[in-house]
Structure 1
Amino acid sequence: MNSFIKTTLLLFLYLIAGFIQAGETAGATQTKKGSSKFSAEDRAIMQRSASSLAEKMPAPGLRVGEKAPDFTLPNAFGMPVSLYKELKKGPVVLVFYRGAWCPFCNLHLHELKKAQPEFVRYAAQLITITPQKPDRSAQQIRKDDYSFEVLSDLDSKVMKAFRLYYELDPELNEVYLKHGLDIAAYNGPGRTVLPVPGSFVIDKSGIVRAMHADTDYKQRMATSEIIKALKDL
């Protein structure tokens, strides 16, 4: 069992403490009476949306051996960060995540934070990308004490370039809103867009040497796999 799968067990602690937003806990979030807050219709919409996305994007993300496109994006404090400028310093572990509202994203980010000393051992740095606004990222950085860059893809160009972009199913968005999760409040007016969660190990020449992307947002690249890829560079 890899470290990320083990860490997902902590999700139950988040549930008990009430830290997880309603829209992402579907069948797991319970009312005081023990029944799901989500109706059968809600769960059916969630399932249809997940199946549709998997059908539309059977193999999301750049493949191993492809050259990563360069980009410049603002970080959480408004400073521009360019991929190829950072690659001059060493390999980059590039991770796309959905937003501070996503519990599985938060679990993965905490695992990545713990693994940073190992990344540094191989002269690699961690850079993350999200569609959420910089102020949301700044709040997240302060709350969770992240030392890595969190960049905001405000026009979705980078998500599209890495073949991870999709628009949230309108029916699913209505379910989220009904349960208090407003994606546009994080991303900006009218922006109910998300990336398929994806991780890429990119060498100094810009070539993707390892990757993982899955429309099932619960599946993430384990830090052990990232470290192995860095070791093999």
Structure 2
Amino acid sequence: MPLQAKLDAFRADFEAGKPPYNVPASVITVMHRATAELISSGVAEKTLKAGDTAPSFTLNDPEGHPVSSAALLEKGPLVISFYRGVWCPYCNMELQALQQAWPAFRGLGANLIAISPQTAVNSRKSVRQNHLEFPILSDTHNDVAAEFGLRFALPDYLVELYKSLKNDLPSFNGDGSWTLPMPGRFVIGQDGVILYAEVNPDYTRRPEPEDMIPALQKAARLTNGS
């Protein structure tokens, strides 16, 4: 089943309040309001696009080892997925889909990383629960996400809702700022230029992993000089 079909099926059950979710309609209304406001703000239009140069960064993996984007790009093109955290079911389904596509990416010479503001212990949980073979890097304060144009602050009413649901982002992230990245997917060529960029302020919408294959094929051709 395509990734978006899985996300749509989950959303339908979640918003209908079906067990085990049992979510009140008032909660759904607040979530819809926040998403609509983020979309209308136009912030997604200011994110990095294909043709832009990606910022270089070094972030720690769940074991505390630094991982450099420059070092990864020396080996081949780089696929990056920015996601919100282990607490987000939409993000977990996306990670699982990326894991399924990982052999195809690797076959085209690419590396794959995920980036999240969450702490190392939560990244280890993400890796374990989603059976991942690629690393998750901790982007404290969403600083790298901000360089890509993805960071946004949750409105006060959404912060209050998250608190009422025991979704304590400061605890998950080790950061009291109540910021998140918009989900974003990028393919970066070895020269540092972005070949593919997909960002959606609606966190329930994610591109299919296969959508990046043409960009990775282009990267392979550039590497081979053809």
TM-score where L is the length of structure 1: 0.86
Rounded to whole Å, the distance in 1 between the matches of 2:16 and 2:73 is: 40
Q: Does 1:151 align with 2:162?
A: no
Corresponding residue to 2:40 among 36, 55, 70: 55
SS in 2 for 1:88: helix
> In structure 2, what is the Cα distance between the partners aligned to 1:189 and 1:160?
15
Kindly indicate which of the two structures has a greater share of residues assigned to helix.
Answer: 2
Does 2:71 align with 1:85? yes
Query: Is it true that 1:136 corresponds to 2:135 in the alignment?
Result: no
Over the residues paired in the alignment, what is the CA RMSD in angstroms?
2.2
Structure 2 counterpart of 1:200, one-letter code: F
CA offset at residue 39 of structure 1? 4.4
**What is aligned with 2:109?**
123
The answer for the alignment partner of 2:3 in structure 1 is 4
Amino acid at match of 1:70: S
Partner of residue 46, structure 1: 31
Q: CA deviation at 1:189?
A: 4.3
CA contact (8 A) 2:140 2:175 kept: no
Residue 161, structure 1, aligned to residue 147, structure 2: yes
Question: How much has 1:185 moved relative to structure 2?
Answer: 1.7
Deviations 1:156-190 (A, max 9, x none): 22011000001112211211221232222211241
User: In 2 relative to 1, CA 151–121 (structure 1 residues): closer, same or farther, beyond 3 Å?
Assistant: same
Where does residue 90 of structure 2 map in the other structure? Answer: 104
Q: Secondary structure at the match of 2:49?
A: coil
Is the CA contact 2:182–2:203 (under 8 Å) kept in the aligned structure 1? yes
Once residues 8 and 48 of structure 2 are traced to their aligned partners in structure 1, the CA distance between those partners, rounded to angstroms, is 29
In structure 1, how many angstroms separate the alpha carbons of the residues matched to 2:57 and 2:82? 14
Distance 2:9 2:28 in 1: 23
Please say which of residues 141-150 and 81-90 is displaced more in the overlay: 141-150
Aligned-partner SS, 1:201? strand
| Percentage of pairs with the same residue | 33
2:81 is the counterpart of 1:95: yes
Cα deviation, residue 4, structure 1: 1.6
In the alignment, structure 1 residue 30 sits paired with structure 2 residue 10: no
Alignment partners' CA distance in 2, 1:44 and 1:3: 27
Aligned to 1:184: 170
Match of 2:216 in 1: 230
Q: Distance in 1 between matches of 2:212 and 2:151?
A: 22
Is this contact kept in 1: 2:116–2:142, CA < 8 A? no
| Paired residues, number | 218
Which residue is equivalent to 1:20? none
Structure 2 counterpart of 1:45, one-letter code: V
Secondary structure at the aligned position of 2:206 is classed as coil
Provide the C-alpha distance between the structure 2 equivalents of 1:189 and 1:200, rounded to a whole number of angstroms. 25
Distance 1:197 1:232 in 2: 24
Following the alignment from structure 1 to structure 2, what is the Cα–Cα distance between the partners of residues 196 and 132? 14
2:141 and 2:179 in contact (8 A); partners too: no
Separation in 2, partners of 1:12, 1:167: 23
TM-score, normalised to structure 2, is: 0.88
Q: Gaps (5+ residues) in structure 1? A: 16-24
Query: Unaligned regions of 5+ residues in structure 2, if any?
Result: 220-226
Matched letter for residue 10 of structure 2: L
Q: Shift of residue 10 of structure 1?
A: 6.0
> Deviation string for 1:40-82 (max 9, x for gaps)?
3x34432322122112214152111000000011111100011
* Counterpart contact for 2:3–2:94, Cα < 8 Å: yes
